[in-house]
Amino acid sequence: MQKDTIAAICTGMSNSGIGIIRISGQEALNVANEIFVNKNKDRKLMSYSSHTIHYGFIVDNKNNDEVIDEVMVSVMKAPYSYTTEDTVEINCHGGMYLVKKVLELVINNGARLAEPGEFTKRAFLSGRIDLSKAEAVMDVINSSNEMSLKASMKQLRGDLAKKVRSLRDSIIYEIAFIESALDDPEHISLDGYPEQLNDKVTSITKELELLLNNANKGKIIKDGINTVIVGKPNAGKSSLLNILAGEERAIVTDIAGTTRDIIEEHINLNGLTLNMIDTAGIHDTDDKIEQIGVEKAADYALDADLILYVVDSSVPLDEDDVKIMDLIKNKKTIVLLNKSDLDVCVNEETLKKYNHDYLKVIKTSTKENEGIDELENCVKDLFLSGEIEKQDEILIMNLRHKELIQNAYESMKLVKRSIEDEMPEDFFSIDLMNAYSSLGFIIGEEVEDDLVNEIFSKFCTGK
């Protein structure tokens, strides 16, 4: 399998300031040389040294060197490039037609259109990056906000791999100890070992738990917090959404029950993404369409990471409120006592009578824009505890990683159980081994038969 030369557009498929075409492979320089001339119209690309950038023109070599665009071309020679192959990147003007035209020229001169993720696949296959790095690359491409980007960058640098390796080392040490004691009981004793192992297992389990918590955090940072706004009709739910979104997203009227369907909005709050879902007010209704909306609201509330319960504090709580409180018990909830600008008859004390725990009760007035800052800070504290920007924290941004860490965690719990049940030592190694190999899958030390292709197929073209 001789590796051919591949090319793709690396920038987004929309008109923008610059478009980049990447060419990688043995023929990359030759291909680029055919279509690139410098300002004196000379073809000199082959002579450029690695890691230099050059001004010039892309020309159509099959059509009398007609100038297509004015470009900058960077040259990175093997093995010091992303793919470890000779690589040329053409920075041209960003109009889609133009970018595609340049790519077409590249293809016509001997390169092949790259498959999704093929550049990264080559980087992996050549041993330049391990699997967790490869997956981080995908996350960097897909990350939608700044904190997510930071966490991906860190994973890319190998923090996750380092952590996983160190956990694996501790686990394999214990396996090796048990095995060697089985093989050479004369020289290696297992007296008192279960207690010793129990301590180790406890500390490894804790570390895995921490990674898992961070995985949830990672998910929240990457995918956003699923936030559902609930409340009776006309409590001010849609107004809240509009204030947070900074635009008129939901139709706000004085008529209760205006929002009949579910309205979704992604809101960036202090660097976090809130996936806001505004729901129909929950109340007994005969209106068929409104009824569906109410049922949907209940469903959404169950799946939410966060509930914003908007209460109209100017009117007394009633049966509908009781129903809502019942629906959202056990969920992370912030209560907003809205309409604080009016005569208030519901306060924190009133709520306490209903015996539900809330994370926080905030007085707001969506009309006067009061209490909104407090709400924003509260959300950030809740989900990030201010820790996220700490340098040493590893965020798991990837669902596959999370599942594998979860598996390792479960296995370690089974080891603990075996110790508690006073099982013979040789039983410990079954679950220790499972934990060890689960972690191994994260960093590609264990190989699943179809894994490689699965991962790279998720990449977008050009990476």
No. of H helices and E strands in the chain? 15, 13
Q: With binding defined as CB under 8 A, does residue 2 bind other proteins?
A: yes
Two structure tokens written together for 305:
């990471």
Nearest distance from C-beta of residue 197 to other proteins, angstroms: 15
Please tell me the count of residues contacting other proteins according to CB under 8 A.
39
C-beta neighbour count of 122 within 10 angstroms: 22
CB of 452 to other proteins, least distance (A): 5
C-alpha to C-alpha distances, 165 to 171, 278, 299, 402, 441, nearest whole angstrom: 10, 44, 41, 16, 11
**Is residue 1 a contact residue for other proteins (CB under 8 A)?**
yes
Say how far residue 311 (Cα) sits from the centre of its chain.
33
Does 3 sit near other proteins (CB under 8 A)? yes
Return the C-alpha torsion angle 405, 410, 412, 418, nearest 10. Answer: -170
In the complex with other proteins, which residue's Cβ is closer, 48 or 177? Answer: 177
Residue 263: count of CB within 10 angstroms of its CB: 20
Binding other proteins (rule: CB under 8 A), the pick from 78, 107, 125, 140 is 125
Quick one: which segment of 227-235, 261-269, 386-394, 414-422 binds other proteins (CB under 8 A)? Answer: 414-422
316 part of the interface to other proteins, by CB under 8 A: no
Map tokens 């800052």 to a residue: 373
| Cα(338)–Cα(352) distance, integer angstroms | 17
Helix (H) or strand (E) holding 76: strand 66-76
Does 451 engage in binding with other proteins (CB under 8 A)?
Answer: yes
Residue 193 binds other proteins (CB under 8 A): no
Q: Of 343 and 449, which CB lies nearer to other proteins in the complex structure?
A: 449
Q: Which residues contact 328 (CB under 8 A, 6 or more apart)?
A: 230, 301, 307, 309
Tell me: does residue 446 bind other proteins (CB under 8 A). Answer: yes
Distance CA 69, CA 375 (A): 51
Using the minimum distance from each CB to other proteins, give the nearer residue, 384 or 433.
Answer: 433
Q: What residues numbered 126-185 form the site for other proteins, per CB under 8 A?
A: 126-127, 130, 179-180, 182-184
431 part of the interface to other proteins, by CB under 8 A: yes
Q: What is the rounded CA–CA span in Å between residue 328 and residue 304?
A: 10
192 near other proteins, judged by CB under 8 A: no
Candidates 118-126, 263-271, 386-394, 397-405 — which segment interacts with other proteins by CB under 8 A?
Answer: 118-126
User: In whole angstroms, how close is the CB of 126 to other proteins at the nearest point?
Assistant: 5
Q: Near other proteins by CB under 8 A, which window of 67-75, 90-98, 154-162, 438-446?
A: 438-446
- 310 strand-pairing partners: 231, 336
Q: Decide: is 186 part of the binding site for other proteins (CB under 8 A).
A: yes
The answer to the question of residue 187 lying near other proteins (CB under 8 A) is yes
| Per CB under 8 A, 422 contacts other proteins | yes
Among 384, 425, 460, 461, interactor with other proteins by CB under 8 A = 425
Q: Read off the amino acid at residue 433.
A: M
Q: Does residue 72 interact with other proteins by CB under 8 A?
A: no
Q: Is 458 a residue that touches other proteins (CB under 8 A)?
A: no
Q: Applying CB under 8 A, which of residues 153, 268, 356, 427 lies at the interface with other proteins?
A: 427
Q: Least distance in Å: CB of 291 to other proteins? A: 43
- For 3, the 3-state DSSP assignment is coil
CB atoms within 10 A of CB 392: 8
Is 199 one of the binding residues for other proteins (CB under 8 A)?
no
Cα angle value 219/225/230 (rounded, 5°): 150
Q: Which of 149, 256, 315, 452 binds other proteins (CB under 8 A)?
A: 452
Written as one letter, the residue type at 404 is L
- Asked if 372 interacts with other proteins (CB under 8 A), we say no
Name the 3-class secondary structure at 392. Answer: coil
288 in contact with other proteins (CB under 8 A): no
Distance between terminal CA atoms of the chain? 21
Cα dist from 29 to 40, 43, 71, 281, 332, whole Å: 19, 11, 16, 63, 57
Tell whether residue 70 is a contact of other proteins (CB under 8 A).
no
Q: Does 420 bind other proteins (CB under 8 A)?
A: no
**Sign of the CA dihedral running 313, 318, 320, 325:** positive
Residue 107 near other proteins by CB under 8 A: no
Q: Tell me which residues touch other proteins (CB under 8 A).
A: 1-3, 121, 124-127, 130, 179-180, 182-184, 186-187, 414, 421-427, 430-431, 433-434, 437, 440, 444-449, 451-453
